[in-house]
Structures are given as C-alpha cells and as structure tokens.
Structure 1
Amino acid sequence: MTPGGRIVLDDAQGYADLRTFVARARQLDEDGAVRLQADGTVLAAYVGVLPGRGLMGDGVVVGLRTMRLGRPTTVDATVSLASVGDRLARDTRAGLELPPVTLQTAWAAMTPPRAGWEPVGSVDAEALVGAARAGIAEVAQGAPAGSGGQAVTDLRQRVWGRLTDTMPPVPAGAAFAAYALGFVDRADPGLRCDVVAHGRWTRLSSPRGHVLVR
C-alpha cells in the first residue's frame, strides 16, 4: 500500500471498472462491503452477493473483479461499498484513498483458494441470464408486499440454492450474481463461462469477472 493509504491502479480504465463493480454491488446491498486484497501487482475486489448458512457458510455467493495495479502493493482491507463509491466519484489521478474504517463480514472471512482449481466444463452465458431472470421473477412473485423477513429469506435460499439445468449445472445463485454484477448479459451471443471447482468451492468465470460459491 502506498504512503497515505492509497491504492494506485494501472490506468483510468481500472478505476472505471472498479467504479462500475462497486455501483452494481451497492444496488444489491447499499450497506454492503468490499474486500480489497493485493500482494503484488493485481488488486482483487470481492463483494458479498448472497449470505451463507450455518457455521460453514454453505451457499455463500461472492463476486470477484481483478484490476492491474500501477505498482506492487500489499493490502487486505474490508470496507463499506458506500465509502469506496464516494472516493471513486472523486479525482482518482493520485489513486484510491482507502477508507479509515474497516468492517467485519462473514463472507470476507472465507478466503477462496488461489490455486488447485479443477476444470468442470463451461456454461452458455445466455442460459445463465435466463436462469437469473427466472429466479428474480420467482422471488418477486413469491414474496408479495407484507411478507415476513424470514419467509423472504427462506424463499431466496430455496430459489438461489437450487441447481440450474445447464450442463454442467451450477447453483442458481451463481447465475444471479453473474447477471447482477454485469459479468454476463444477452449482448454477448456465444459467450461461455468456465466452471472450475476446489473442494467445497465452485467458481464461475467470464471475461468480466468471477463468481465464487461455497
């Protein structure tokens, strides 16, 4: 980390990508957090999309976007999306000033492995978009106004915890995260997303970012 608590990305496009990523994550959870992690020349930005269940965090879904750094940096800080978004809205020519207040979140404590992933197959991006939109509609129809908080939570867990009918199948929550974070859309005909696995983790990857599911 540079003096003054700043992260310096490689170019203006990196700041634009991070700004878009943070903005999309804030649409999912205005009070959410982002974990900024680096040990070298690549910044990894993680955001929580769906919470896990139990002590092992089963079903947790995390979005990941990586950006090149302008210089080697070591940092690992979990901070609010709002604070990062506010800083990215300012002049970033001198870098991204890290917020002074850090947060603790359950998903950020579960670090996915960096190596040892085994290929499983690839999934058509358009099929992921379809699965995500179908799930969104099901949640909206099944949770009318006035539904209790626990009823909505249970419904979401059922919808996003089931597997898609793609081959290979992936958790529907992964399709939702990829769609909501802009990693897939219907403007990319023929795009396929790689699926890899490591123990309890599954990773869905497109050229725009990654979704990690435990």
Structure 2
Amino acid sequence: MSGAVVSELVLADPESLQDLGRYAARARALDADGAVRLQAVGSVLASWVCVLPGAGLMGTGTTLGLRTSALDVPAELDVLVPLAAVSDRVARPGERAVLPVPPMTGSAAWAAVSPPRSGWQVVGSVGSEALQRVASDGIAEVADGTPEGAGSAAVAALRERVWGRIIGTADGDVGGGASDLEKGGPAYPAALAFAGYALGFLTAGAESTIATNGRWTRLTTSAGHALTRR
C-alpha cells in the first residue's frame, strides 16, 4: 500500500467520526486483533475491514465490509492500521472531527484482495428481515456444529460451508432463501447476510441491493457495503 504522508483525517462532522468508531467496534467484535484499511481519495474515506478470511490462492470466501465517510479536508492515503488504534483515537474526541492516523501499520492477505470499483451489475434486492434471518440461522448452525475442543481446521471448514452457501436457490438456504426465490429474489452467498448483520448495516424494513461483478458479489445498504469473493 502507498499514499502520501497524512497525519490526520478531518471528517465532515462529529457524527461521521462516531459512526466510524462504532463500525470499528463491530469489526473488533469479529476479530479483536483485526485491522482496518483506511483509503482516502480526495474528499472520500473508504474504511475496509475483513469479516471472513478467504482460502486458497484466489482468496475464495474473502468477505469484506466497506463504509465510506465524507472528508472535510481532502486527503490521499492508503494504510492498514489496527482496529484497536482507531477505536482508541475515536474515543478521545476533540472539538474537531479529526481522526489522527495511527503511526503503526501492518499487512494482511485480505487487504491485497481488492474488489473492482466499476462494472457492477445489479441483480435484485432483498429485505433486511430476510438477511437477518439468514445471518441468525447461520450463526446458530456454526455454534451448534462446533463442539468443545474442535480444532481450528474443523471450525474453519464449518464456517466456510455455512457462509459459502448460496441463498435464493431451491437446494441450498439457511433460512429465508426459499421464500426469497418465490418472490423472485436474487441469489447471494450467506456471507453477505452475516457481514451486513455483524457490521450493523441492516435497517429494519429496508431493502438491500445485490450486485455482481465476476467472482464478486456485493450487498449495498444505506449504511455500507459487504462484498464477498466466490
């Protein structure tokens, strides 16, 4: 990653800074030692987090969260920093909506797996209630299928199977998929429902858009995006 040396990011308002803090807190709940990729281009800050790590050379199953924020002061930056460092800095608000850029940087395989910026094709929409049902059923399935003392490889295989399942097809759903199909809903990996739920992107009564681009599928809500690679 590269970018100009930037010591701070000035967001549009204090609410945007606090929203970023809540987003980081939710991502930390998934991985206490996780990181966030801060990618500033002009007046837009894109904050990327990893929800599910991928497997293999192609990063199959990699599932990312993306939240964008408006910057009051344009900047050019692309760094990977600990989520904990962002949370600490947001927890000490000042008079300005400023996020001091953590000095420590790191590396992660998921940060090198960048989804395309253009060329997405919208394939349909799905309601937040259906997404939440898929996420809740999947979480329960992972919990019930993970006995005490299970090895990390077995747990990873179970998660890959559950969250890689395609919803909206007659032969594979974890709750809500069949009804979505009956209503003409789009097919999408369960990982997107989990990411949307875990990161707080789902709003009761709202519709989320599903789009595809090559091996990628994207869920878009008013709060952010979840993207997964198949």
2:30 alignment partner AA: L
Q: Distance in 2 between matches of 1:97 and 1:3?
A: 12
Q: For 1:179 and 1:92, how far apart are their aligned partners in 2?
A: 30
Q: SS state of the match for residue 52, structure 1?
A: coil
Aligned to 1:210: 225
Query: Using the alignment, how far apart are the partners of 2:228 and 2:8 within structure 1?
Result: 30
Q: Does 1:182 align with 2:182?
A: no
**For 2:118 and 2:94, how far apart are their aligned partners in 1?**
32
Q: Deviations over 1:63-118 (max 9, x none)?
A: 00011000211000011101111111112434111111111111111111111111
CA separation in 1, counterparts of 2:128 and 2:198?
13
TM-fit CA distance, 1:3: 7.6
Aligned to 1:61: 63
Give the conservation status (yes or no) of the 8 Å contact 1:15–1:92.
no
Q: What TM-score, normalized by structure 1, do the two folds share?
A: 0.95
Letter in 2 for 1:212: L
Establish whether residue 132 from structure 1 lines up as the match of residue 125 from structure 2.
no
- What fraction of aligned residue pairs are identical, expressed as a percent? 52
Please give the root-mean-square deviation of Cα atoms over the aligned residues, in Å.
1.5
Alpha-carbon distance in structure 1 between the residues aligned to 2:214 and 2:94 = 39
Question: Who is 1:194 aligned against?
Answer: 209
Q: Which amino acid aligns with 2:226?
A: V
Note the C-alpha offset of 1:146.
Answer: 1.1
1:122 to 96, 120, 125: 125
Deviations 1:154-178 (A, max 9, x none): 1111100101223212111110000
Within-5 A mapping of 1:1-214? 5-94=7-96, 95-164=98-167, 165=177, 166=180, 167-185=185-203, 188-189=204-205, 191-214=206-229
Q: Which amino acid aligns with 2:53?
A: P
Question: What residue number does 2:170 align with?
Answer: none
Kindly provide the CA deviation profile for residues 123-158 of structure 1, in whole angstroms up to 9, marking residues without a partner as x: 111100000000000000000221111111111111
Residue-pair matches, total = 211
CA distance in 1, matches of 2:64, 2:134: 18
Q: Distance in 2 between matches of 1:113 and 1:135?
A: 27
TM-score by structure 2 length? 0.88
SS at match of 2:122: strand
Where 2:140 maps in the other structure, the secondary structure is helix
Cα-to-partner distance string for 1:188-212 (whole Å, 9 max, x where unaligned): 12x1100111111111001011001
- After superposition, the Cα gap between the structure-2 partners of 1:3 and 1:32, relative to the gap in structure 1 and judged at 3 Å, is closer
Matched AA of 1:97 = P
Q: Distance in 2 between matches of 1:195 and 1:93?
A: 39
**Whole-angstrom distance in 1 between the partners of 2:5 and 2:158:** 47
Which sits farther off after the overlay, 88-97 or 135-144?
Answer: 88-97
